[in-house]
Amino acid sequence: MNSISSQFSSVINQCPAQNVIVAHYHLFKNAGTSVDVILKQNFGSAWSKIEFPKISQQSNSHLVQNWLEQQNISAFSSHTALFPLPSLDNTLVLPIVFLRHPLIRLWSVYNFERKHRQVLNASIKLAQEKDFAGYLNYQLDQPPNRSCRNFQTYRFSWLNSQPNKTELERAFDGLNLLPIVGIVAEFDLSMELYRQAIAKYYPLFEFQSVHKNITSERNLSQDEKLDLIRTNLDHDTYQRLLDANQDDLQLYAAAKNKLSLLSSKLNNPG
């Protein structure tokens, strides 16, 4: 089998029945850099990275849609693009998005920002000045700040705008709406499911296992990572963190179950 890098030019020259755009919703520290590598290897210059401004109390999906209408691309990645999926004439948008255990994600965020060479924002500055507990407590003391409070639930909730539902209910609806939701701890399995979905339209789409922007703790089990987090937090802060991420924990558990069911179908297609 040829390498991915030698095939990407052929991949982007496929002619699917309709225009198909792979949309990577890159939730920070959820294996997004690894996904970006795979997309770049497959699509080359037909893949783009783009960020969008935040709009208070609103999704910026219309900005994503307006941008896509002006592009000639097959895939894009964005940290800041919000759901719902953009609606484009004669275009199918295939989303890629990953979820992660919320406490492990925040530990990864903190360590990434603490080691960052450039102080690009207030969060990085905070991580470099405070220990993990101080970092979390400061963030949680800012009510509008969702970075440490059910961040993934908040992002998924934009998939359903019904005002009569709670944020978690809307996030669950979003989880059910998406055909595939990746799990960081099951990266290769998740990407194989995405590969099969994308290959229906881009038959030469492939992936080789890549793990970018990872830490030395990669080989620890989930329980070992959670134990490590506990040792770096006092009891009150750990409990506060749990309380602030109960919705994310429920969403993550549901996403794991969804992936398990998809995996069963993959292994038992009959």
In a domain, 2, yes or no: no
Structure tokens at 45: 């210059």
Q: Exposed, middle or buried: residue 145 (CB in 10 Å: 0-12, 13-18, 19+)?
A: middle
In a domain, 42, yes or no: yes
In a domain, 63, yes or no: yes
Q: Is the peptide bond before 102 cis (omega within 30 degrees of 0)?
A: no
d(CA 41, CA 75): 11
pLDDT at 215: 60
In a domain, 229, yes or no: yes
Mean pLDDT, residues 193-197 taken together: 97
Q: Tell me the pLDDT tens digit for each residue of 17-43.
A: 479 999 999 999 999 999 999 999 999
d(CA 187, CA 96): 12
In a domain, 195, yes or no: yes
d(CA 145, CA 83): 19
Q: Give the domain extent around 194.
A: 8-267
Please tell me what DSSP assigns to residue 195: H
What is the number of alpha carbons within 13 Å of residue 135 lying toward its C-beta? 24
In a domain, 230, yes or no: yes
Per-residue confidence band for 72, with pLDDT thresholds at 50, 70 and 90: very high
CATH number at residue 67: 3.40.50.300
Closest by Cα among 171, 145, 148, 146 to 158: 171
Q: Identify the helix (H) or strand (E) that includes residue 220.
A: none
**pLDDT above 50 (res 9):** no
pLDDT at 266: 78
d(CA 190, CA 182): 5
φ and ψ at residue 95, rounded to 5 degrees: -85, 140
In a domain, 32, yes or no: yes
Q: Check the CA dihedral 53-54-58-60 and report its sign.
A: positive
Q: Tell me the pLDDT tens digit for each residue of 146-174.
A: 999 999 999 999 999 888 999 999 999 99
Considering its fold, how many domains does the chain have in total?
Answer: 1
Contact, 232 vs 131, CB < 8 A? Answer: yes
d(CA 112, CA 166): 32
In a domain, 207, yes or no: yes
**pLDDT above 50 (res 229):** yes
